[in-house]
Amino acid sequence: MSEAAANQASESYLSSGWRIRDWLLTTDHKRVAWLYTISITAFFFLGGLAALVIRLELMTPDGDVVSADAYNQLFTIHGVVMVWFFLIPSIPNTLGNFLLPLMVGAKDLAFPKLNLISWYIYTVGGLFTIAAVITSGVDTGWTFYTPYSTQFADRAVVAALTGVFVVGFSSIATGINFIVTTHKMRAPGLTWFRLPLFVWANYATSLVMVLATPVLSATLILLILERMMGIGIFDPALGGDPILFQHLFWFYSHPAVYIMILPGMGVVSELITCFSRKTVFGYHGMALSILAISVFGFLVWGHHMFVSGQSLYAGLMFSLFSFFVALPSAIKTFNWTATLYKGKLIFSAVMIYALSFVGLFTIGGFTGIFLASLAVDVHVHDTYFVVAHFHYIMVGSMVTAYIGGLHFWWPKMTGRMYPELWAKVAALALFIGFNLTFFPQYLMGYAGMPRRYQTYPEDFQILHVMSSLGAGVLAIGYLLPLVYLLWSLRWGKRAPPNPWRAAGLEWRTDSPPPKHNFLEPQTVTGPPYDYDTIDNK
């Protein structure tokens, strides 16, 4: 290689190519990860804005901030944006996109063009839906239940469905890309049981994306056809069963909650081992329970339908299966704590995020078990108890893991360090604000406060006000990182290749990595997370 060519190869992926087209037409997985990060952040703050208005409205028992109709549209926007345009793509498409090829020692994903296309599909689908929702409004909730969505809602339901349908293709594309990359592009010596748990988690997530998303597409097609062409598959007048929609919807959407949480589990496994300076406790069990979750996750969807009119017999079976899926989740929680045990813990900001995850996931998971018990669910279904349950997992755990991971790999992605003190403040604000927002919701839900209502009896006001104030603190927890991370891009200290002395192939290359990730081909000779060796060097 000539010297000029060698210099060019060792240049970082950020150092040249700053025309618009170098970004919008890039096939470099690291740049596509940034495209996704930008879109996702925008959607996150949009969804957050809707949530803030909702919380503002709920400060008082009467409807005084927005009309009842606007309230319905607000929680629909919030749900649709957060679930489909933020959580589903969040970790896989940002951190996963950036790290998966690095972690397996590959030059790129198996299908780089497909990766870029998936971003366009995602962004166009997302913007389309937002435009539809904002110009004419949708009030079905993120679940689009029939017969309301087919026969009664008179707004831009079709447009919203189309957007969600389109975004599904970007999930499928990502899933295919990740699965093939994990199977076919691993560096020599990187056997399955030497893979970082983050790779396992993204692999399992991709399996779920690939097997579940098409069913959502089919269901949305049926809804769209029913609304537009009068082909009534769920129409009771033709002997159709509206509950069938729920079966198909939850066949996708329960596994989809694992699309949302599994990558978070992967991230946290990386963070905890690194900052306890210890290998993951029970690595094999961790990897296999990730797979088990993604498989068992397909057997439990009926627990969302206990009071829908589904047969009691099916309800019982789904209840039983739901208990099984909690098992591997519990194994993971035990193993994280066992990893901490006797570790040399370092309470950095990243570690605070990781520990928040474990605590909040435990609470969210436990209340999931309550909900999965058929008889208890009859009492708390469609109350704030359910709202608190899934926010503990999706926001408390998943978003925390995402932000924690973003901090952990920020030096790798940007070549800059962030201000540690501010990060600690933000992490604590997040933990405190989150609990203040959502713990009261368990209490009011258990006491009977239904979800999706704009007005409520005065008895609930104290809890609602606490929740709204907490949301304010939480918002600070999210806005702070936005500010100091952007600040660090310019003024942060330059990052060395491995600032945390972490294990994993991604730390062997420069920060930020060169265009083709590694200057020489990598080989792997030992087990993952070998922190004893690293620390004794």
Contacting residues toward Cu ion, per CB under 5 A:
254
Burial code (b: 16+ CB inside 10 Å, e: under 16) for 27-40 equals ebbbbbbbbbbebb
Q: Any contact of residue 365 with ligand HEM (CB under 6 A)?
A: yes
In this complex, which beta carbon is closest to Cu ion, that of residue 38 or of residue 316? 316
The strand pairing partners of 416, in sequence order, are: 494
CB of 250 to ligand HEM, least distance (A): 9
Out of 35, 248, 261, 351, name the contact with ligand HEM by CB under 6 A: 261
3-state secondary structure 307-373: CCCCCHHHHHHHHHHHHHHHHHHHHHHHHHHHHHCCCCCCCCHHHHHHHHHHHHHHHHHHHHHHHHC
Footprint of another protein on 89-128 (CB under 8 A): 106-112
Q: Any contact of residue 533 with another protein (CB under 8 A)?
A: no
CB of 474 to Cu ion, least distance (A): 24
Distance separating alpha carbons of residues 161 and 129, to the nearest angstrom: 8
Binding segment (CB under 8 A) for another protein, from list 270-278, 310-318, 433-441, 458-466: 310-318
3-state secondary structure of 383: strand
Out of 229, 342, 525, 536, name the contact with another protein by CB under 8 A: 229
CB of 98 to another protein, least distance (A): 15
CB of 426 to ligand HEM, least distance (A): 22
CB atoms within 10 A of CB 73: 20
DSSP-assigned letter for residue 493: P
Distances (CA, A) of 138 to 149, 311, 375: 9, 31, 33
CB atoms within 10 A of CB 164: 22
Out of 133, 164, 371, 427, name the contact with ligand HEM by CB under 6 A: 371
Distance separating alpha carbons of residues 378 and 400, to the nearest angstrom: 31
* Pick from 43, 33, 179, 22: nearest CA to 512: 33
In this complex, which beta carbon is closest to ligand HEM, that of residue 319 or of residue 414? 319
Q: Any contact of residue 185 with another protein (CB under 8 A)?
A: yes
Burial code (b: 16+ CB inside 10 Å, e: under 16) for 42-51 equals bbbebbbebb
Q: State in Å, rounded, how far the first CA of the chain is from the last one.
A: 33
Q: Any contact of residue 415 with ligand HEM (CB under 6 A)?
A: no
Residue closest to ligand HEM, measured at CB: 368
Out of 67, 184, 334, 382, name the contact with another protein by CB under 8 A: 184
Structure tokens at 112: 């780089």
Distance separating alpha carbons of residues 289 and 271, to the nearest angstrom: 18
Q: Any contact of residue 369 with ligand HEM (CB under 6 A)?
A: yes
Cβ atoms of residues 514 and 102 within 8 Å: no
Out of 161, 172, 287, 325, name the contact with ligand HEM by CB under 6 A: 325
390 binds, options another protein, ligand HEM, Cu ion, none, Cβ within 5 to 8 A by partner type: ligand HEM
Distances (CA, A) of 522 to 188, 202, 377, 507: 7, 21, 52, 12
Q: Any contact of residue 313 with another protein (CB under 8 A)?
A: yes
Out of 65, 210, 225, 326, name the contact with ligand HEM by CB under 6 A: 326
CB atoms within 10 A of CB 511: 22
**Enclosing H/E stretch for 385:** helix 384-391
CB of 327 to ligand HEM, least distance (A): 9
* Pick from 324, 354, 329, 332: nearest CA to 284: 332
Binding segment (CB under 8 A) for another protein, from list 57-65, 80-88, 282-290, 304-312: 304-312
Binding segment (CB under 8 A) for another protein, from list 1-9, 35-43, 212-220, 359-367: 212-220
Distance separating alpha carbons of residues 386 and 445, to the nearest angstrom: 7
Q: Any contact of residue 213 with another protein (CB under 8 A)?
A: yes
Q: Any contact of residue 317 with another protein (CB under 8 A)?
A: yes
CB of 270 to another protein, least distance (A): 24
Binding segment (CB under 8 A) for another protein, from list 39-47, 231-239, 404-412, 500-508: 231-239
Distances (CA, A) of 494 to 9, 416, 451, 510: 20, 5, 48, 11
In this complex, which beta carbon is closest to another protein, that of residue 520 or of residue 537? 520
In this complex, which beta carbon is closest to Cu ion, that of residue 451 or of residue 508? 451
Cβ atoms of residues 289 and 224 within 8 Å: no
Out of 3, 4, 20, 230, name the contact with another protein by CB under 8 A: 230
Cβ atoms of residues 234 and 147 within 8 Å: yes
CB of 293 to ligand HEM, least distance (A): 9
Structure tokens at 89: 């793509």
CB of 175 to another protein, least distance (A): 8
**Interacting residues toward another protein by CB under 8 A:** 106-112, 147, 151, 172, 175-177, 179-180, 183-185, 210-215, 217-219, 221-222, 225, 229-233, 235-241, 243-244, 247-248, 251, 298-299, 301-302, 309-314, 317-318, 516
**Interacting residues toward ligand HEM by CB under 6 A:** 143, 257, 260-261, 303-304, 322, 325-326, 329, 365, 368-369, 371-372, 377, 381, 386, 389-390, 393-394, 398
